[in-house]
Amino acid sequence: MATLSTHPDCVPIVSYRFGKGATNIDKYIELDGYQAARKAIALGPDGIIAEMKASNLRGRGGAGFPTGLKWSFVPKQSDKPKYVLVNGDESEPGTCKDRLIFEQDPHAVIEGTIIAGLSIQAKMGFIYLRGEYRYLLEITERAVADAYAKGFLGKNIFGSGLDFDIVTQTGAGAYEVGEESALMESLEGKRGIPRIRPPFPAVVGLYGGPTIINNAETIATVPHVFRLGGAEYAKIGTERNGGTRLFCLSGHIERPGVYELPMGYNLRKMIYEVGGGIPGGKKLKAVVPGGASTPALTADEIDIGMDFDQLGKAGSMLGSGGVVVLDETTCMVEFALRTMKFYAHESCGWCIPCREGTDWLKKSLTRLHEGGAVDKDIDNIRYLAENMLGRTFCPLGDAAAMPTIAFVKKFRKEFEDHLDGKGCPHHHAQEPEIALV
Amino acid sequence: MSTQPTLFSPALAARFDKLVTLYPIRRSALVPMLLYAQDEVGYLSDPVIAEIAERVGATELEVRNVISYYSLLRTKPAGKYHVQVCTNISCMLRGGNEILDHCKKKLGIPNKGVTSDGLFSLEEVECIGACSWAPAAQVNYDFHENLTPESIDKVLAEYRTKSEKGAAK
């Protein structure tokens, strides 16, 4: 069972109902549940979007696109049915927040999906969960059935005269399916291969209809925006970065856990006060601030507010909220290699820069880690990664390239220490799994 | 479909009959159907693939094409208890590789191996969403977190006992 961690600085918005038995629909209702959907019905599509825009809520999946704006791109008139698709395919390494949401408050996701549907006059929503989260699928299916029984889903929801259905869906193991267009392909019963854009999903999405696709945390936040009011919600965070988010602290940290903190919370405080610092009094070496795909920060770069804009300015990303802490004993080459092994495994193979790039980077990093590399290899690793950037159908290529470039740039000395046949100066060298090139 | 002969239990066959009606297109039921079939049968055998292809109105080739994409889907049997150890970054930093090595030794099988009695199989997996409770593993769909070599021993022993008692699902 996944539980929320707390600290006095935590602000429970998304986690407002965690640990209170809110998987039970009556308990959820008792805790102001399904009031937001009623408010949204009264507001109508334009009112909903105005409230969302006022909240400054930005996409929690990684890109940080303003949610209200995204919804407003869906055309009012459409020959094809419109859809809402909730992305619960959480699989960015370092991220485990959606698990908590579905486990503790599945009705918030359902209510958020209804509101998203109301904003674009859709009649159907899908909640897609990664295949590994089977117990969460069961919890969510039960919650959906309970919502139907209460008349909150189906025909004439809340007696409004409007219809809205939700179907839950499971994946079957694929990081790439967390990418919005691959997600739609998977839901259409196909391999999760990305689609070329434009057209964007807001215009041509699922089954060819206009589609809103949002991360599960974003959708679970929506009812709270209406509970508090968009403007009030916006006040919690920093400028243009409304509200809170669930930060997942992991790695070399005294108190790992998922904490709900305001947007813009200082990273140093997050590590040393909220997370209790680094075990054994060791020094910090690096932080991956928002999941495996975000460029690492060095120990000198952690006096920063954790929001989309401040991290963007620092050359990284807020990403999915996965804060991975690395102490001084970590081998950065091994860490880079493990990251790349992941992307090489998960690349769908559709476009060449990603398919070949991730594989060659994995081979090059393996060779470097084992002591078989020559000087030139370090620049080659960076060159290869830089040439993947922006040259792929979907962001997986960038996700693999960006952290690699940062590792080489910021920790070059460590890469050099592996040269001249020395291999890894740290103790825990892995057994080789692939042949040397 | 429900009147046709089926490879699945009546409950699963009924679930599949309903599943294809939930979506705008039948094909949308494919990925969940493959996973649920695998859960019941153990793996996606040729006859299973043929039946599912018919149920969603796709060719067997199209279904195989989808199967090969998803890492949870398999066309060969795994152990009764499929031990999936995460070694991705957050788990690696807290001893995920050591847990994997320990399982290899304890079970006497390599990565992707199956024990000779068919009870356990082992697989090194990518991030399973347990980063803040690392290192972690999944046995079938059950999460086991904050692992140590001692605690994973206990976990494996419990599954062995469960199987011996015949209480396993």
> How does the average pLDDT of chain A come out, rounded?
96
Tokens read off for A75: 């055309």
How is domain B81-164 classified at the architecture level of CATH? Answer: 3-Layer(aba) Sandwich (3.40)
The DSSP result for B88-137, as a single string, is SHHHHTTTHHHHHHHHHHHHT--TT-B-TTSSEEEEEES--S-GGG-S-E
Residue A435: predicted pLDDT = 44
Q: How confident is the model at residue B166 (pLDDT cuts 50, 70, 90)?
A: confident
pLDDT at A160 over 70: yes
Residues A85 and A224 in one domain: yes
Q: How far is A53 from chain B (nearest CA, A)?
A: 30
Radius of gyration of chain B (CA): 18
How many domains, chain A?
3
Interface contact flag, A191 B126, Cβ < 8 Å: no
Q: How confident is the model at residue A227 (pLDDT cuts 50, 70, 90)?
A: very high
* Residues spanned by the domain of A399: 332-416
Q: Is A247 near chain B, with CB under 8 Å?
A: no
Under 8 Å between Cβ of A201 and A207:
no
- CATH of residue A305's domain is 3.10.20.600
Q: How confident is the model at residue B51 (pLDDT cuts 50, 70, 90)?
A: very high
Residues in chain B: 169
Residue B165: predicted pLDDT = 87
Please tell me the distance from the alpha carbon of residue A118 to that of residue A219, in angstroms, as a whole number.
Answer: 13
Q: How confident is the model at residue A189 (pLDDT cuts 50, 70, 90)?
A: very high
Q: Is A138 near chain B, with CB under 8 Å?
A: no
Interface contact flag, A250 B134, Cβ < 8 Å: yes
Residues A214 and A198 in one domain: yes
Angle at A213 between CA A212 and CA A218, to 5 degrees: 110
pLDDT at A240 over 70: yes
pLDDT at B3 over 80: no
Is A314 a domain residue? yes
Please tell me the distance from the alpha carbon of residue A32 to that of residue A225, in angstroms, as a whole number.
Answer: 13
Tokens read off for A140: 């969510």
Residue A101: predicted pLDDT = 98
Interface contact flag, B73 A172, Cβ < 8 Å: yes
Q: How confident is the model at residue B167 (pLDDT cuts 50, 70, 90)?
A: low
Residues A70 and A108 in one domain: yes
Please tell me the distance from the alpha carbon of residue B68 to that of residue A349, in angstroms, as a whole number.
Answer: 12
pLDDT at A115 over 70: yes
Interface contact flag, A94 B89, Cβ < 8 Å: yes
Q: How far is A78 from chain B (nearest CA, A)?
A: 16
Find, in chain A, the residue whose alpha carbon is nearest to that of B97: A430
Smallest Cβ–Cβ distance between B129 and the set A90, A292, A339 belongs to A90
pLDDT at A105 over 90: yes
Q: Which of A158, A169, A91 is nearest to A396 (CA)?
A: A91
The DSSP result for A260-285, as a single string, is EEETTEEHHHIIIIIS---GGGPPEE
Q: Is B75 near chain A, with CB under 8 Å?
A: no
Cα-flanking dihedrals φ and ψ of residue A151, to 5°? 80, 15
Residues A254 and A230 in one domain: no
Residue B1: predicted pLDDT = 47
Residues A272 and A345 in one domain: no
First to last CA, chain A: 43
How many CB atoms are located within 10 Å of the residue A423 CB? 18
Residue A398: predicted pLDDT = 96
* Higher-confidence position of A103 and A431: A103
Report A:73-132 residues touching B (Cβ under 8 A).
Answer: 81, 90-96, 98-99, 124, 130-132
Q: End of a domain among A327, A353, A373?
A: A327
CB under 8 Å to B97, separation ≥6 — which residues?
A: A428, A430, B87
CB under 8 Å to B109, separation ≥6 — which residues?
A: B115, B120, B121, B122
Any idea what DSSP says for residue A241?
A: B
Residues A131 and A248 in one domain: no
Interface contact flag, B90 A342, Cβ < 8 Å: no
- A308-341 in b/e form (b: 16+ CB < 10 A) is bbbbeebebbbbbbbbbbbbeebbbbbbbbbbbb
Please give the share of chain A, as a percent, with pLDDT higher than 70: 97
Beta bridge partners of B142: B139
pLDDT at A167 over 70: yes
Is A2 a domain residue? no
Q: How far is B90 from chain A (nearest CA, A)?
A: 5
Interface contact flag, B93 A135, Cβ < 8 Å: no
Residues A115 and A145 in one domain: yes
Q: What ipTM goes with this model?
A: 0.95
pLDDT at A430 over 60: no
Interface contact flag, A93 B126, Cβ < 8 Å: yes
Residue B32: predicted pLDDT = 98
> How does the average pLDDT of chain B come out, rounded?
95
Residues A79 and A219 in one domain: yes
**Which pTM does this prediction carry?**
0.96
Q: How far is B161 from chain A (nearest CA, A)?
A: 22
Q: HEC string of A102-155?
A: HHHCHHHHHHHHHHHHHHHCCCEEEEEECCCCHHHHHHHHHHHHHHHHCCCCEC
Could you report the per-residue pLDDT of A194-209, keeping only the tens digit for each? 999 999 999 999 999 9
Tokens read off for B67: 């199967």
Could you report the per-residue pLDDT of A298-351, keeping only the tens digit for each? 999 999 999 999 999 999 999 999 999 999 999 999 999 999 999 999 999 999
Smallest Cβ–Cβ distance between A93 and the set B22, B27, B127 belongs to B127
Q: How confident is the model at residue B114 (pLDDT cuts 50, 70, 90)?
A: very high
pLDDT at B131 over 50: yes
pLDDT at A33 over 50: yes
Q: How confident is the model at residue A1 (pLDDT cuts 50, 70, 90)?
A: confident
Interface test with B, best of A84, A90, A127, A132 (most B CBs within 10 A): A132
One of 2.70.98, 1.10.3470, 1.10.10, 1.10.1060 is the CATH number of B10-67, namely 1.10.10
How many CB atoms are located within 10 Å of the residue A200 CB? 17
Interface test with B, best of A191, A350, A404 (most B CBs within 10 A): A191
Q: Which of A135, A21, A191 is nearest to B63 (CA)?
A: A191
Task: Provide the angle, in degrees to the nearest 10, between the axes of the packed helices A332-346 and A396-410.
Answer: 170
Cα-flanking dihedrals φ and ψ of residue A129, to 5°? -115, 145
Residue A185: predicted pLDDT = 98
Is A424 a domain residue? no
Q: How confident is the model at residue A143 (pLDDT cuts 50, 70, 90)?
A: very high
pLDDT at B168 over 60: no
Is A69 a domain residue? yes
Please tell me the distance from the alpha carbon of residue A416 to that of residue A376, in angstroms, as a whole number.
Answer: 10
Is A433 a domain residue? no
Locus of tokens 């918005």: A13
Q: HEC string of A201-238?
A: CCCCCHHHCCEEEEEHHHHHHHHHHHHHCHHHHHHHCE
How many CB atoms are located within 10 Å of the residue A421 CB? 10
Could you report the per-residue pLDDT of A346-365, keeping only the tens digit for each? 999 999 999 999 999 999 99
Question: What does the pLDDT average to over A181-198?
Answer: 96
Please tell me the distance from the alpha carbon of residue A324 to that of residue A248, in angstroms, as a whole number.
Answer: 8
Please tell me the distance from the alpha carbon of residue A307 to that of residue B137, in angstroms, as a whole number.
Answer: 31
Residues A252 and A271 in one domain: yes
Q: Is B49 near chain A, with CB under 8 Å?
A: no
Angle at A93 between CA A174 and CA A168, to 5 degrees: 45
Q: What does the domain layout of chain B look like in residue ranges?
A: 10-67, 81-164
Is A171 a domain residue? yes
Residues A110 and A146 in one domain: yes
Question: What does the pLDDT average to over B155-167?
Answer: 90
Q: How confident is the model at residue A60 (pLDDT cuts 50, 70, 90)?
A: very high
Is A421 a domain residue? no
Interface test with B, best of A168, A338, A339 (most B CBs within 10 A): A338
- Chain A residues closer than 8 Å to B87 by CB: 338
Residue A2: predicted pLDDT = 86
Residues A339 and A314 in one domain: no
Q: How far is B157 from chain A (nearest CA, A)?
A: 20
Report A:173-232 residues touching B (Cβ under 8 A).
Answer: 173-175, 186-192, 207
- CATH of residue A372's domain is 1.20.1440.230
Please tell me the distance from the alpha carbon of residue A433 to that of residue B108, in angstroms, as a whole number.
Answer: 18
Q: Is B53 near chain A, with CB under 8 Å?
A: no
Residues A119 and A25 in one domain: yes
